[in-house]
Amino acid sequence: MNDILYLLILILSVYLWLIISNVLVSWLVVFDVLNIRNRWVFKACSLLNRLTDPGMVYLRKFVPQMGNMDWTPMVMVLIIYLLQNFLYSLMN
């Protein structure tokens, strides 16, 4: 049972880092550090979006947008953190 819980925690950690990297890459694109017209940059951004969007699109229905800021990644990070703590508590 602990192995399954540990695997779930590991999957959540990987998803957390994918969300963080998606946010950082989107900032780099906005500030023109990365050029999305480059084929490899476009493929990397597209891959990150395809990996993180299923959870984000569902959560965007409930999280209101304030100004130009999208708070969905922050809410998703908080949810992942809470889920990981819950899974850690089940392991003990």
**Is the CB of residue 56 less than 8 Å from the CB of residue 76?**
yes
35: left (phi over 0), alpha (psi -120 to 50) or beta: beta
Report how far apart, in Å, the C-alpha atoms of 44 and of each of 5, 25, 37 are. Answer: 30, 9, 12
- Domain extents in the chain: 2-91
Q: pLDDT tens, 27-80? A: 999 999 999 999 999 999 999 999 999 989 999 899 888 888 889 999 999 999
pLDDT of residue 69: 86
pLDDT of residue 7: 96
pLDDT at 22 over 90: yes
Nearest to 19 by CA among 58, 72, 82, 87: 72
The predicted model scores a pTM of 0.89
Of the chain, the end-to-end C-alpha distance in Å amounts to 11
